Amino acid sequence: MNCWKGWLSYRGMRRGVLLLLASLLLAGCGYRFAGEEDPVAPAFRTVFVDIFTNRTGEAYAENIFRSAFINRFVQEGRFKLARSRGEADLICRGTVRSLQAAPLAYKATNLTAEDRITVTLEISFEERESGRVIWADGFFVGTEDYPVTTVGVTESSRRNALVKLANDSAERAYRLMMSGF
């Protein structure tokens, strides 16, 4: 019986040593998840979110999306906002290329119950002095759904959906900028 006790403790110790070696190998060989390295040099500390261009018929869409990007940079805290382009290390630029709403669901009466708003943005994030593009996407697409009810309520729902779409787009774009994808 003592023979089995020694064998079991040896087997357990062997597993522990193997697990320890495997974890040291993974940690020591430079293994990292894709996109984990910071594509933005630590020396860059300020960002300016430039005025967005609006190529749509949606009034103030450029302001809604620019505000969302400004809020995202402030919220993340990695960079301080510069007051002008000339004071910034990095520039974020954007264009609202298209903004479309389309029916998503219908009521039994063939009236629209829910719409989906789709935006296509052109976004770039670059070093101010060198002009080197850190990240860019010419066809950055996002969607948001909203209910269709009465005229006043639907307009309010659409506006809220547009703001949520802008915030979600800014968050997703920021994550991509910072991950190098």
The pLDDT assigned to 152 comes to: 83
pLDDT score at 5: 55
In this predicted structure, the answer to whether residue 20 has a pLDDT above a threshold of 90 is no
Task: Name the least confident of 13-22, 60-69, 70-79, 145-154.
Answer: 13-22
- Residue pLDDT, tens place only, 32-83: 444 455 567 778 899 999 999 999 999 999 999 999 999 999 999 999 999 9
pLDDT tens digits, residue range 84-138? Answer: 999 999 999 999 999 999 999 888 887 888 999 999 999 999 999 999 999 999 9
Selected residue with higher pLDDT from 140 and 19? 140
pLDDT of residue 17: 55
Query: Over 60: is that where the pLDDT of 181 sits?
Result: no
One DSSP character per residue, the chain reads -HHHHHHHHHHHHHHHHHHHHHHHHHHHTT---TT-S-SS-TT--EEEEPPPEE-SSSTTHHHHHHHHHHHHHHHH-SSEEPSSGGG-SEEEEEEEEEEEEEEEEE-TTS-EEEEEEEEEEEEEEEETTT--EEEEEEEEEEEEEEE--SHHHHHHHHHHHHHHHHHHHHHHHHHHHHHT-
Number of residues that this document lists for the chain:
181
- Which architecture characterizes domain 39-179 according to CATH? 2-Layer Sandwich (3.30)
Q: Does residue 139 register a pLDDT over 90?
A: yes
Find the angle CA(167)-CA(169)-CA(171) to the nearest 5 degrees: 70
